[in-house]
Amino acid sequence: MANRPIAPHLQIWKWGPHMAVSILHRATGDGLAIVGLGVLLWWLGAMASGEAAYTLFQETMGSPVGLVVLVGLSWAFFTHMMSGLRHFVLDIGAGYELDTNKAWSILAPVIAILLTAGFWAVIMLR
Protein backbone atom coordinates (compact mmCIF):
# COMPACT_ATOMS: atom_id res chain seq x y z
CA MET A 1 0.00 0.00 0.00
CA ALA A 2 1.27 3.48 -0.89
CA ASN A 3 2.40 5.82 1.86
CA ARG A 4 -0.28 8.46 1.35
CA PRO A 5 -0.97 11.46 3.54
CA ILE A 6 -3.90 11.01 5.90
CA ALA A 7 -6.78 13.43 5.49
CA PRO A 8 -7.12 15.73 8.50
CA HIS A 9 -9.99 15.05 10.86
CA LEU A 10 -11.39 16.59 14.05
CA GLN A 11 -8.80 15.01 16.33
CA ILE A 12 -5.96 16.65 14.39
CA TRP A 13 -7.34 20.18 14.04
CA LYS A 14 -6.78 22.59 16.91
CA TRP A 15 -10.10 24.25 17.71
CA GLY A 16 -10.14 28.03 17.60
CA PRO A 17 -12.53 30.94 17.33
CA HIS A 18 -12.40 30.86 13.53
CA MET A 19 -13.84 27.34 13.51
CA ALA A 20 -16.56 28.26 16.00
CA VAL A 21 -17.56 31.31 13.94
CA SER A 22 -17.66 29.24 10.76
CA ILE A 23 -19.90 26.62 12.38
CA LEU A 24 -22.07 29.36 13.92
CA HIS A 25 -22.40 30.95 10.47
CA ARG A 26 -23.84 27.72 9.07
CA ALA A 27 -26.12 27.15 12.08
CA THR A 28 -27.54 30.68 12.01
CA GLY A 29 -28.11 30.42 8.26
CA ASP A 30 -30.07 27.22 8.77
CA GLY A 31 -32.02 28.76 11.66
CA LEU A 32 -32.90 31.81 9.60
CA ALA A 33 -34.00 29.64 6.70
CA ILE A 34 -36.17 27.32 8.77
CA VAL A 35 -37.51 29.38 11.68
CA GLY A 36 -37.39 32.72 9.89
CA LEU A 37 -39.25 31.38 6.89
CA GLY A 38 -41.87 29.82 9.18
CA VAL A 39 -42.47 33.10 11.03
CA LEU A 40 -42.54 35.06 7.76
CA LEU A 41 -45.08 32.71 6.18
CA TRP A 42 -47.22 32.74 9.32
CA TRP A 43 -47.14 36.57 9.35
CA LEU A 44 -48.08 36.81 5.67
CA GLY A 45 -50.82 34.20 6.08
CA ALA A 46 -52.18 36.01 9.14
CA MET A 47 -52.30 39.30 7.25
CA ALA A 48 -54.11 37.66 4.35
CA SER A 49 -56.56 35.78 6.61
CA GLY A 50 -58.08 38.71 8.39
CA GLU A 51 -58.13 40.54 11.67
CA ALA A 52 -58.66 37.53 13.96
CA ALA A 53 -55.70 35.59 12.52
CA TYR A 54 -53.46 38.65 12.66
CA THR A 55 -54.46 39.33 16.27
CA LEU A 56 -53.51 35.75 17.16
CA PHE A 57 -50.14 36.25 15.46
CA GLN A 58 -49.54 39.51 17.33
CA GLU A 59 -50.47 37.97 20.67
CA THR A 60 -48.26 34.95 20.09
CA MET A 61 -45.25 37.00 18.97
CA GLY A 62 -45.84 39.45 21.84
CA SER A 63 -45.78 36.66 24.43
CA PRO A 64 -42.52 35.79 26.23
CA VAL A 65 -41.99 32.74 24.00
CA GLY A 66 -42.67 34.77 20.87
CA LEU A 67 -40.24 37.46 21.97
CA VAL A 68 -37.57 34.83 22.56
CA VAL A 69 -38.14 33.59 19.01
CA LEU A 70 -37.96 37.11 17.58
CA VAL A 71 -34.86 38.05 19.59
CA GLY A 72 -33.28 34.75 18.55
CA LEU A 73 -34.05 35.44 14.89
CA SER A 74 -32.59 38.93 15.08
CA TRP A 75 -29.47 37.58 16.85
CA ALA A 76 -29.14 34.91 14.16
CA PHE A 77 -29.49 37.57 11.47
CA PHE A 78 -26.82 39.85 12.91
CA THR A 79 -24.49 36.93 13.68
CA HIS A 80 -24.88 35.57 10.16
CA MET A 81 -24.37 39.06 8.71
CA MET A 82 -21.19 39.77 10.69
CA SER A 83 -19.77 36.33 9.91
CA GLY A 84 -20.70 36.82 6.27
CA LEU A 85 -18.82 40.12 6.19
CA ARG A 86 -15.82 38.37 7.76
CA HIS A 87 -16.00 35.66 5.09
CA PHE A 88 -16.34 38.32 2.37
CA VAL A 89 -13.11 39.96 3.53
CA LEU A 90 -11.40 36.57 3.58
CA ASP A 91 -12.70 35.84 0.07
CA ILE A 92 -11.01 38.95 -1.30
CA GLY A 93 -7.72 37.71 0.16
CA ALA A 94 -7.38 39.87 3.28
CA GLY A 95 -7.43 39.01 6.97
CA TYR A 96 -5.56 35.70 6.82
CA GLU A 97 -2.86 36.81 9.27
CA LEU A 98 -3.28 34.73 12.42
CA ASP A 99 -3.79 37.64 14.81
CA THR A 100 -6.18 39.45 12.45
CA ASN A 101 -8.18 36.30 11.75
CA LYS A 102 -8.46 35.46 15.45
CA ALA A 103 -9.43 39.04 16.38
CA TRP A 104 -12.21 39.21 13.76
CA SER A 105 -13.39 35.73 14.70
CA ILE A 106 -13.90 36.95 18.25
CA LEU A 107 -15.26 40.38 17.29
CA ALA A 108 -17.88 39.12 14.80
CA PRO A 109 -20.19 37.48 17.39
CA VAL A 110 -19.53 40.24 19.94
CA ILE A 111 -20.56 42.92 17.42
CA ALA A 112 -23.60 40.80 16.52
CA ILE A 113 -24.69 40.72 20.17
CA LEU A 114 -24.25 44.48 20.44
CA LEU A 115 -26.24 45.04 17.24
CA THR A 116 -29.02 42.76 18.52
CA ALA A 117 -29.14 44.60 21.85
CA GLY A 118 -29.21 47.96 20.07
CA PHE A 119 -31.91 46.81 17.66
CA TRP A 120 -34.18 45.63 20.49
CA ALA A 121 -33.42 48.71 22.58
CA VAL A 122 -34.69 50.89 19.71
CA ILE A 123 -37.82 48.71 19.34
CA MET A 124 -38.62 48.54 23.06
CA LEU A 125 -37.93 52.21 23.81
CA ARG A 126 -40.36 53.51 21.18
Domain boundaries, the chain: 18-124
pTM over 0.75: yes
Residue ranges in the chain whose pLDDT is less than 50: none
Pick the CATH number of 18-124 from 3.40.50.300, 3.40.50.2300, 3.20.20.70, 1.20.1300.10: 1.20.1300.10
What pLDDT shows up at residue 34? Answer: 97
Q: Is 18 annotated as a binding residue?
A: no
For the beta carbon of residue 117, count every other beta carbon within 10 angstroms: 14
Rounded CA separation 53/43 (Å)? 9
| Maximum C-alpha span of the chain | 72
Distances 9 to 5, 15, 77 between C-alpha atoms, Å: 12, 11, 30
The enclosing H or E element of 111 equals helix 98-124
3-class secondary structure, 64: helix
Report the mean per-residue pLDDT for the chain: 92
For residue 23, the model assigns a pLDDT of 93
CB 76 within 8 A of CB 38: no
Q: How far apart are CA 45 and CA 60, in angstroms?
A: 14
